[in-house]
Amino acid sequence: MSEYITHDLTGETIGQVEKKFFTFAEPPHEMVLDSGARLGPITLAYETCGTLSAEKDNVILVLHALTGDSHAAGVYGPNDTKPGWWDNMIGPGKGIDTDRYFVICSNVLGGCMGTTGPSSMNPKTGKPYGMDFPFITIADMVRAQKALLDHLGIEKLLSLIGGSMGGMQVLQWAVQYPEMVYSAIPLATTMRHSALAIAFNEVARQAITADPHWNNGRYYGGQKPDLGLSVARMIGHITYLSDEAMRSKFGRRLQDKDDFSYNFEGDFQVESYLRYQGAKFVERFDANSFLYITKAADYFDLSSFHDESSGVKVFSRAMARFLVVSFTSDWLYPTYQSREMVKAMKKSGLNVSFCEIEAEWGHDAFLVPNERLTNLVKGFLDSVYQNIR
């Protein structure tokens, strides 16, 4: 990776951003999904930052992870104290430099942050879709993003970047619309879920559907399955961390007490932390969206795209230059899965660089400020941009 120039972590916030909306697939021109179902109209929530060049050759599409949204950087107003989920990476002088690049991030299909999903109004009934919402796939999410780019007049992407489920979308984009993609940066991701990852998702889904308030998805307007969704979030959050991170952050330290309480209210700091994460999550996320999006991630298998039989064959469809990044402590999508995709990319003749970053924070490491990751991303993007100009 010595070809990439090192940079520090300096850089200012991009300031105020605006959530925008795009609606398409109006009946009778609904979008046909992988399941065969038809969906429309579809609204996508999205945000942009930076300035689009006259040649429209500086576009970077950021793809978010499982429970993320379109709000990747900046703030919504002067009194907003919580910036977007990747504010440490996106902005002037940062890894994704908005002084140079035009950045787009949209909420995925099936979401609950402004994009059409199970909590959206079903035009046929006048009520939320609930379980009448059709099953979706990662490829369906990408088709919806392609419709947004068509609306914006974007024909080429300088780069795609995303971690975890966002990385799945990066890979899907590269083989589904290869002629549009100059480069791609999949972070902490996989070509397919392992049995372990599927198992954790299934336990989380069972926590939601076992909640008596779930009511087969018909809880809108009434009491929501907050307990089930909270437990689902706790399960997921455990997979995002590592043993080292847990040991460093919590150990066996007690929460606001000197001895055991001898009850089930929670004695340990890690118990308090997980309960807090679960409680905060139910304030912003929809339980049905969680069911649908986790299932989409479980269905994802890049090697089966267009009935291809191997990763080598499917990557032979791609044309992009790749930077693949994994993290040493990520046990949800461990490095061997990244090495598998890199091997398939190289066998298919692609230009690919790979880096495994030493990090203690587990799967979530790609979201944590990291000088090496920032330098890699910035150097890679600068190199690609210089090559096309």
Catalytic residue among 7, 64, 71, 363: 363
Cβ-in-10-Å burial (0-12, 13-18, 19+) of 141 comes to buried
Distances (CA, A) of 40 to 6, 45, 125, 136, 304: 46, 15, 13, 13, 26
In the annotation, is 164 catalytic?
yes
- The 3-class SS string of 119-133 reads CCEECCCCEECHHHC
Q: What is the CA radius of gyration of the chain?
A: 21
Q: Which amino acid, 65?
A: A
CA distance linking residue 282 with residue 339, whole number of Å: 36
Go through the chain and tell me how many residues it has. 389
Q: Is residue 156 helix, strand or coil?
A: coil
Phi, psi for residue 234 in degrees, rounded to 5: -60, -45
Match 């954790």 to its residue by tokens. Answer: 200
Q: Cβ of 24: how many Cβ atoms within 10 Å?
A: 17
Q: Whose CA is closest to 214, among 226, 204, 203? A: 226
Catalytic residue among 164, 242, 289, 329: 164
Q: How does strand 121-122 pair with strand 127-128? A: antiparallel
CA distance linking residue 200 with residue 168, whole number of Å: 18
Q: Whose CA is closest to 45, among 17, 26, 82? A: 17
Strand partners, 192: 301
CA distance linking residue 154 with residue 159, whole number of Å: 12
The helix (H) or strand (E) run that includes residue 22 is: strand 20-24
* Cβ atoms 306, 261 nearer than 8 A: no
* Cβ atoms 195, 171 nearer than 8 A: no
CA distance linking residue 311 with residue 295, whole number of Å: 21
Catalytic residue among 87, 330, 338, 364: 330
Peptide bond into 28 cis (omega under 30): yes
Residues assigned a catalytic role: 164, 330, 363
